[in-house]
């Protein structure tokens, strides 16, 4: 039998070194692929890259109230192990979750995994939640927990039909072509001049909407907001089929860059649990022609083509202390000067009057 030839210590060391380097290289490629690689590529569409600074998922690291957190909580919002609860199923609560990093992407897609559930029966629950891309953040208010007359985009998942209940109280009926079925998803672009009409469920200012039965479902519910080349698309996956269904399609939407993503909710006399499981933002990268680049230049105020928004009236800036002092000072000097001139002219007039009598 032939003797077995054992590798030398030098050969064994080289084999171990190759194995270690190969493992490190594989780990590095996996990390680079997870951070910089595309999430997926759809036929005929742009490549999508996950932007972690604008995304949130379990175990919800980087969420808090400090200035170093990527996501800030507000109001009654609280972090749980499986979700972030914006509002509990209790009356008169409001909460919000806001990204601290402004978004400067031209084209993007936001996927929202959420859940709305509670003990309330039909039409005895409320009020819903909103997803925001706005100039201001962490501003509590009456519009699903956010400020009114916001600047930017708001997408609302409204679960209570305020207008329908008012019509019923007045013993009036909707015409079949006007009545909505709730819960209802709608969108609104605002330049700071418009108020959200709660009594009419935002109908006067909405870009469009659709019915979305999202309460107390056993399967996951998703909403996607896509903004590509001034084209706003909102779709939903609420049937448990893992398929996107169209809800709103609006071309000519002009949104500035540098705004903040957030989500908020509010309850009143009626309530629900409003939970957010994840928020994932993807950068959409596609080829733009020079004409498209010229057409899609940055804007400084939200607007929608062929939709006239009232111009925002900017209040005059308050005067500084120095400016106010200078105005008062020169006013007094002018008054004293006018009084002195008046006295001199009066004395001359008196002298001329005396000379006439002599």
357 or 269, which is more confident: 269
Mean pLDDT of 297-310: 85
In a domain, 166, yes or no: yes
314 or 159, which is more confident: 159
In a domain, 81, yes or no: yes
In a domain, 306, yes or no: no
Domains of the chain: total: 1
pLDDT of 164 reads: 80
Give this prediction's pTM: 0.74
Q: What whole-number percentage of the chain has pLDDT above 70?
A: 77
In a domain, 272, yes or no: yes
In a domain, 82, yes or no: yes
Residue 6 has pLDDT above 80, yes or no: no
Residue 99's domain comprises 47-286
Confidence of residue 255 (pLDDT cuts 50, 70, 90): very high
pLDDT of 301 reads: 95
pLDDT of 190 reads: 97
CB 97 within 8 A of CB 69: no
Mean pLDDT of 26-44: 43
Q: What is the mean pLDDT of the chain?
A: 84
Tokens of 320: 């500084």
57 or 19, which is more confident: 57
CB 258 within 8 A of CB 104: yes
Tokens of 325: 């002092």
Give dist(CA 275, CA 80) in Å, integer.
Answer: 10
CATH code, domain carrying 67:
2.60.120.200
In a domain, 61, yes or no: yes
pLDDT of 43 reads: 38
- Please report where in the chains the tokens 């909102």 appear, as a residue: 234
Backbone φ, ψ for residue 113 (5° rounding): -105, 115
pLDDT of 5 reads: 53
């Amino acid at each position: 039998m032939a003797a077995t030839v054992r590798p030398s210590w030098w050969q064994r060391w080289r084999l171990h070194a190759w194995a270690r380097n190969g493992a490190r290289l594989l780990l590095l490629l996996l990390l680079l692929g997870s951070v910089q690689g595309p999430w997926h590529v759809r036929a005929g569409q742009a490549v999508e890259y996950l932007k972690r600074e604008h995304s949130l998922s379990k175990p919800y690291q980087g969420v808090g109230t400090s200035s170093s957190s990527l996501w800030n909580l507000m109001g009654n919002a609280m972090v749980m192990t499986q979700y972030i609860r914006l509002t509990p199923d209790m009356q008169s609560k409001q909460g919000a979750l806001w990204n601290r990093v402004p978004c400067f992407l031209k084209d993007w897609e936001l996927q929202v995994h959420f859940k709305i559930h509670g003990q309330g029966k039909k039409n005895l629950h409320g009020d819903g939640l909103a997803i925001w891309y706005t100039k201001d953040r962490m501003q509590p208010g009456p519009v699903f927990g956010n400020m009114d007359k916001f600047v930017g985009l708001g997408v609302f998942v409204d679960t209570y039909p305020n207008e329908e209940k008012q019509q019923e109280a007045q013993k009036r009926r909707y015409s079949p072509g006007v009545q909505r079925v709730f819960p209802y998803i709608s969108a609104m672009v605002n330049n700071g001049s418009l108020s959200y009409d709660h009594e009419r469920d935002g109908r006067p200012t909405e870009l469009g909407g659709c019915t979305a039965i999202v309460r107390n479902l056993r399967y996951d519910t998703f909403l996607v907001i896509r903004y590509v080349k001034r084209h706003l698309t909102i779709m939903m996956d609420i049937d448990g089929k893992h398929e996107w269904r169209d809800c709103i399609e609006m071309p000519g939407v002009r949104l500035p860059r540098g705004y903040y993503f957030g989500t908020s909710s509010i309850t009143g006399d009626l309530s629900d649990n409003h939970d957010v499981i994840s928020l994932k933002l993807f950068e959409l990268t596609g080829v733009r022609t020079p004409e498209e680049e010229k057409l899609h230049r940055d804007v400084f105020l939200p607007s929608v083509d062929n939709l006239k928004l009232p111009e925002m009236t900017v209040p005059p800036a308050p005067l500084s202390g120095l400016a106010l002092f200078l105005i008062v000072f020169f006013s007094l000097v002018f008054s004293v000067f006018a009084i002195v001139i008046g006295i001199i002219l009066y004395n001359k007039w008196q002298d001329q009057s005396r000379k006439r009598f002599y």
